[in-house]
Structure 1
Amino acid sequence: MTKQIHLAAHFPGVNNTTVWSDPAAGSHIEFSSFARFAQAAERGKFDFLFLAEGLRLREQNGEIYDLDVVGRPDTFTVLAALAAVTDRLGLTGTINSTFNEPYEVARQFATLDHLSGGRAAWNVVTSWDAFTGENFRRGGFLAQDQRYERARTFLETVLELTGSWRGDEIVADKDSGVFLRDPQAGSFRHRDAHFDIAGRFDVPRSPQGHPVVFQAGDSEEGREFAAASADAIFSRHSTKDAGQAFYADVKGRLARYGRSRDSLLVLPAATFVIGDTDAQAAELAHEVRRQQVSGQTALRFLEQVWNRDLSGYDPDGPLPEVDPVVGEGHVAQGRAQVRMYRDPVATARQWRELAAEKGYSIRELMIEVQSRQTFVGSPGTVAASIDDLVQSDASDGFILVPHITPGGLDPFVDTVVPLLQERGVFRADYEGTTLRDHLGLPPVGVPDA
């Protein structure tokens, strides 16, 4: 059976995907940028807009990491404002389960779901990062098994709170206003190793019952958490072979939780460069990669593996002959830094071999290994590639990350979406009003088929 493709849009922070030197690039903090981006996604009939989270500016060599200098506005504030300028687009926010409390998060998401008419979603994440933890009263960090256990009970508690109201528990009276029919409405009591709370939840049941739940972990613990609890899992595996392996693994975990294969969507992040022809797109993609990785940026990337100050090296010269420094301390501080390099010495050896084979300088090597371009080609080529990956069970769709903000989504919406619609694999219009409708998920409280 032909699968329907799910599409979403990620509003990027300032990072090495974004080409902020391009004259077309705009603000990452002014509301007009968020509004334009969201409205383009809604014009394309996308499922949802996605905001990542940054709780502290990254640092390198004791200085603010230059690609992060603009920061990140508060997620709930931005999504609530976007609810007023969109009608159907889902609104997904990344909220950390390590540094927040269930009552507050439940209340914020229930409110967003009401304000948006049932379009709220929560990307549940954890944090291993003591550097980020310094911003919070608990400080420090949790070990991986503890942080996923906290995330599990955090989510469980939030769903208990949002589910503490049933649909028939309030009635409106013209004389006295809204009052409770059931005196137990909203009451809760939760006690476990992480939380001991009791009271009355003060936001009535929202249109979706609770927000759609996303998860973004690729570890064993993250995959299992998603299989048990999430409606969708974000993935970094956007090639066919890697995508099919991840897809089969995650979907294969669902049965032991009494869930069907359709109850969890697999959505990799994907970048794109579109041209009138494949050749033009390839030429543009090469230029975009050079804009994304300047000489200074190349050195910053290299330092994340070498764990030493490399500012004295020529980015157009060869890789350092010295090996990486291995230890607990690191020149890079902040979430999403360096953790992908489990064995920096082995990584350095592989990079030296690649640089020798291709004759790469430091910058050329970093452009090669840091490339994030998933789809490059004409609109027809990109549409065919996306359709092939979805139909071959490498994914259920993609979260698109443009390299220009806020207008970078427009070429995809205007040229690729119509071709997917012609293929009959993407909606011509929204058929429902809630995000659960868009994702094909059953209403809350209805078991999987």
Structure 2
Amino acid sequence: MSKPLKQIHLAAHFPGVNNTTVWSDPAAGSHIEFSSFTHFAKTAERARFDFLFLAEGLRLREQGGKIYDLDVVGRPDTFTVLAALAAVTDHLGLTGTINSTFNEPYEVARQFASLDHLSGGRAAWNVVTSWDAFTGENFRRGGFLPQDERYSRAKEFLATTHELFDSWHGDEILADQATGTFLSDARAGSFVHKGPQFDIHGQFNVPRSPQGRPVIFQAGESDEGREFAASGADAIFSRYATLDAGQAFYTDVKSRLAKYGRRPEELLILPAASFVLGDSDAEAEEIAHQVRRQQVSGATALKHLEFVWNRDLSSYDPEGPLPDVDPLVGEEHISRGRAQVRMYRDPLAIAREWRELAEANKWSIRDLVINTGNRQTFVGSPATVARTINDFVQSDVSDGFILVPHITPGGLDTFADTVVPLLQEQGVFRTEYEGTTLRDHLGLAHPDDRRSERVAS
């Protein structure tokens, strides 16, 4: 007997501080004006997506002591945007990245409980950590937390927020829902937490929200991050969207759940995925080539190379050969607070590899960056993209995808109008929302359902 088809989960990522967006395209719009967020969210909801995702940047990028001005410099506060979107959407989940290194459990729990109330149960929290003192300079405890301790804080942070969410619905609290009066002497919202990171007690003042707790996302890919996700997250925002790498990541993370008493379906794996559509596969490939060249200008290519070389390369021609000088190693890095700094742990080896590639393919600096950087995940006609997405999900590469368009805010429109109907025809994607909360969309149990199971047993 063949196993039943998995239902695909789709979400939309509103691009933030990144090198994905094509700024030069006439269709590119604002990342600040609320109309952009509204257009994007309504398109995602029209397509019956599970949720909209907002990343967060806590500091402007810097390189060589100057503001890095080749991509978007920032965005309005995440909670403010999501709360505003709750008023113009009815079903779409609202997911925001909030840092556990520089915030406090009480304030974050209060904000997410409030968002869950305002949205009718559609809030989700992408729990992230920050490893660098550069970002920490913006905060009171700037840079105090060693990298190897960040997940310890994150785990206790998440556990503490759960205690706060649950303080309004513990086993000892019984209430008359009609009158709102409590039938026991327990104080709703009372909490006490004592731990290495947090020693707090008091009264949580936001009542139990529709989902009980927000859906929890986690984005780490390290062994610590995978274990953290397996222990308590509802979904992983993964970077592994190719067949082999995706299957390996999927198998590894799902295999960790049993030790925490969890089933595979209790943790969804949702990689980020970019896409380019055309009337034919050949046209889509040509558009994808053009998009990559728009995404990587000459100036962007030089800045990217500086991540590895750790030196000013502004005098080099981006359409010319790679530098013949070696990267600087063991000095303060030219790029502060950039993820790419951590990606290249052996810059001398990377430089040798890139020189060999450039020589063999007759690539310029810009050609090299275009061909070694992130490429579009799905490229083809709507039929090809729909088929590939379904094949990947059915092959356990993921449980779905978080789509990252290269045009804001209209880059999702064509996908919604052409690919989604094909997935619906295949019976692997919803035609209507069947529930009201994000947990309903994702097929996740409500925390109170689990509590009922415990009480019954």
- Superposed CA offset, 1:409-445 (max 9, x none): 0010000000000111100111000000000001114
Verify the 8 A CA contact 1:281 1:377 in the aligned structure 2.
yes
In the alignment, structure 1 segments of 5+ residues that lack a partner are: none
Residue 198 of structure 1 pairs with residue 198 of structure 2: no
Over 3 Å counting, the alpha-carbon distance change for 1:315 and 1:301 in structure 2 is same
- The 5 Å alignment of 1:257-276 reads 257-276=260-279
Residue 134 of structure 1 pairs with residue 155 of structure 2: no
Map of 1:82 onto structure 2: 85
The amino acid that maps onto 1:351 is: W
The amino acid that maps onto 1:156 is: A
- Superposed CA offset, 1:118-158 (max 9, x none): 00000000000110000000001422331100000000000
Verify the 8 A CA contact 1:51 1:94 in the aligned structure 2.
yes
- Within the candidate set 209, 225, 229, 2:232 is matched to 229
- The 5 Å alignment of 1:42-191 reads 42-166=45-169, 168-169=174-175, 180-182=182-184, 183-191=186-194
- Within the candidate set 286, 290, 311, 2:289 is matched to 286
Map of 1:31 onto structure 2: 34
Map of 2:398 onto structure 1: 395
Instruction: Please report how far the alpha carbon of residue 170 of structure 1 lies from its aligned counterpart in structure 2 after TM superposition.
Output: 6.5
- The 5 Å alignment of 1:424-443 reads 424-443=427-446
Verify the 8 A CA contact 2:250 2:397 in the aligned structure 1.
yes
Distance 1:415 1:404 in 2: 17
Residue 422 of structure 1 pairs with residue 425 of structure 2: yes
RMSD, matched Cα? 1.5
Instruction: Please report how far the alpha carbon of residue 336 of structure 1 lies from its aligned counterpart in structure 2 after TM superposition.
Output: 2.1
Secondary structure at the residue paired with 1:188? Answer: strand
The amino acid that maps onto 1:66 is: D
Instruction: Please report how far the alpha carbon of residue 102 of structure 1 lies from its aligned counterpart in structure 2 after TM superposition.
Output: 0.3
Distance 2:143 2:333 in 1: 16
Distance 1:329 1:287 in 2: 36
Verify the 8 A CA contact 1:127 1:141 in the aligned structure 2.
no
- Within the candidate set 386, 389, 411, 1:386 is matched to 389
Distance 2:143 2:16 in 1: 25
Distance 1:356 1:168 in 2: 73
Over 3 Å counting, the alpha-carbon distance change for 1:130 and 1:362 in structure 2 is same
Map of 1:349 onto structure 2: 352
- Superposed CA offset, 1:354-383 (max 9, x none): 111111000011111113300000000000
Over 3 Å counting, the alpha-carbon distance change for 1:141 and 1:414 in structure 2 is farther
Verify the 8 A CA contact 2:383 2:422 in the aligned structure 1.
yes
Over 3 Å counting, the alpha-carbon distance change for 1:360 and 1:421 in structure 2 is same
Distance 2:55 2:331 in 1: 27
Verify the 8 A CA contact 2:29 2:36 in the aligned structure 1.
yes
Residue 330 of structure 1 pairs with residue 352 of structure 2: no
Secondary structure at the residue paired with 2:341? Answer: coil
Over 3 Å counting, the alpha-carbon distance change for 1:343 and 1:109 in structure 2 is same
Distance 1:152 1:442 in 2: 21
Verify the 8 A CA contact 1:303 1:331 in the aligned structure 2.
yes
Secondary structure at the residue paired with 2:52? Answer: strand
- Superposed CA offset, 1:203-235 (max 9, x none): 000000000000000001000000001000111
Identity %: 75
Distance 2:296 2:215 in 1: 35
Verify the 8 A CA contact 2:61 2:73 in the aligned structure 1.
no
Over 3 Å counting, the alpha-carbon distance change for 1:25 and 1:146 in structure 2 is same
Distance 2:349 2:132 in 1: 24
- Superposed CA offset, 1:2-36 (max 9, x none): 10000000000142100011100000011100010
- Within the candidate set 365, 368, 372, 1:369 is matched to 372
The amino acid that maps onto 2:113 is: A
Residue 298 of structure 1 pairs with residue 301 of structure 2: yes
The amino acid that maps onto 1:279 is: A
Secondary structure at the residue paired with 1:415? Answer: helix
Distance 1:180 1:106 in 2: 23
- Superposed CA offset, 1:154-175 (max 9, x none): 00000100110028547565xx
Distance 2:377 2:31 in 1: 23
Instruction: Please report how far the alpha carbon of residue 337 of structure 1 lies from its aligned counterpart in structure 2 after TM superposition.
Output: 3.3
The amino acid that maps onto 2:373 is: Q
Instruction: Please report how far the alpha carbon of residue 324 of structure 1 lies from its aligned counterpart in structure 2 after TM superposition.
Output: 1.0
Secondary structure at the residue paired with 1:67? Answer: coil
